[in-house]
Amino acid sequence: MSWEHFDVEADVGVHAWGPSRAEAFARAAEGVFALVVPPAAVAATETREARAQGASPEALLVNWLNECLYVHEIEGFAVARVEVDTCRDDLVHGLLHGEPLDPARHPLGTIVKAVTHHHVEVAERDGRVDVRVVVDV
């Protein structure tokens, strides 16, 4: 697991990391989705696409995560795993692996309203990329 949750007053933070920005963004999405439905309860039988643009790495991360949440909310899609195949300075694209949400099989966790720009961080340190976001719950 390359992500963890951290406490923020009235909200929840997600810290994720990886050897590349693409990997860190994928792990951040998994950390956000883990708040909604435990990934172990989800079978990766289908995929959905998500894509976002942003003028800075921080804006790109927030927009990406909100697009991922949009797929979950609008399509009723539970996510087990996230794969980012394109991550440029202004564009991120990836696949969400999961299945249609079934409340009888998928224990619902926290309702995530949105990912915020509050304390967002994208930083390269010691050969890895660390990202932090706060989600509004």
Q: Alpha-carbon distance 33 to 22, whole Å?
A: 17
pLDDT at 132: 97
Q: What is the CATH number of the domain that holds 19?
A: 3.55.10.10
HSE (CB half, 13 Å, CA atoms) of 95?
9
DSSP-derived letter for residue 19 is: S
Domain housing 110: 3-136
pLDDT at 122: 98
Q: Alpha-carbon distance 16 to 31, whole Å?
A: 7
Tens of pLDDT along the chain (137 residues) come to 688 788 777 789 999 999 999 999 999 999 999 999 999 999 999 999 999 999 999 999 999 999 999 999 999 999 999 999 999 999 999 999 999 999 999 999 989 999 999 999 999 989 999 999 999 98
- Model confidence, pTM: 0.94
Number of domains within the chain: 1
SS3 11: strand
Order of strands, edge to edge, in the sheet holding 114-125?
3-8, 11-18, 128-136, 114-125
Q: Alpha-carbon distance 28 to 52, whole Å?
A: 14
Q: Alpha-carbon distance 100 to 47, whole Å?
A: 10
Residues 82 and 26 sit within 8 Å (Cβ to Cβ) = yes
